[in-house]
Amino acid sequence: MPVDLQTLYPKLIHLMLDTVFVVDRDNQIVFVSDACETLLGYRAVELIGTPITDYIHPDDLSVTRASIIRVMNGHSHVDFRNRYIRKDGGVVHILWAAFWSDEVEARIGVARDVTALRQAEEELRFMAHHDPLTALTNRSLFNDRLESALRAAHRHNNMLALLFLDINDFKGINDVHGHAMGDQVLCMVARRLQACVRETDTVARMGGDEFTVLLTDIQSQEAVAEKVAQILATMAEPLGAEFGAINMPSCSIGVAFYPADGEDADTLLSHADGEMYRIKRQRSSAAG
């Protein structure tokens, strides 16, 4: 016997894992499939007759209204993303495919929950620009920020300072106490460095036991000297009991100033690195 498609279609719509919305010219929801309860936490009866814009994340209202106008003007939108507020107050990221139907004078949209995908994308972006051990900015992002800071300093005739920091005798920690403990020390160094600077400054792990700090919009070289003294004092504070008998290692810090010590990233990094090794050699000579 022939299949009664007219009877089957509504059942198929409610079986879909994605949510189907039908919204009239005045943005009132006139139909929503059963999957919406999983998507937004509302049952269909709670949504029908209410404006769909009531559930859009406030920060996405403007761009969503522009998309609505586009769809109502006859341009399908099959790759639009925005955020909605769930009944429980949570935020869900949605990927839409929508078109305007002249036959029913309504927008028909299919909504897919892409929250997990969005989180995975953000994690990948973070991993691409941050050190996996300390979560600090990595070399690549640091170089980008340094280039941007140099352009801004040149444009506004400001100074900036670049600090290059190396942990003294770090190899001994790895050799005696193991790399896992060495990693914990590196994470502690990262946290202490971040605590010493402003949110507008950048702390990066360049690799191994080498770190850099970018100080922007500085007032004087004396202010940077005070910052270096603060970092050295913070680094000298004892480690917690979880580190056992390990003492917090000291560090050597080289400084380069823009524009006094160079006007490009490579020159400044080379100068700060050279200063750091000069201080390191002085320390070794004094110890010997």
Which residues are known catalytic residues? 209
DSSP string covering 253-286, please? EEEEEETTT-SSHHHHHHHHHHHHHHHHHHHHHH
DSSP string covering 11-28, please? HHHHH-SSEEEEEETTSB
Per DSSP, 239 falls in state: P
**Angle at the Cα of 131 (from 164 to 274), degrees rounded to 5?**
15
Task: Report the C-alpha gap between 218 and 257 in whole angstroms.
Answer: 10
Q: Is residue 266 within 8 Å of residue 193, measured between CB atoms?
A: no
Q: Is residue 235 within 8 Å of residue 192, measured between CB atoms?
A: yes
Task: Report the C-alpha gap between 47 and 53 in whole angstroms.
Answer: 11
Q: Is residue 252 within 8 Å of residue 283, measured between CB atoms?
A: yes
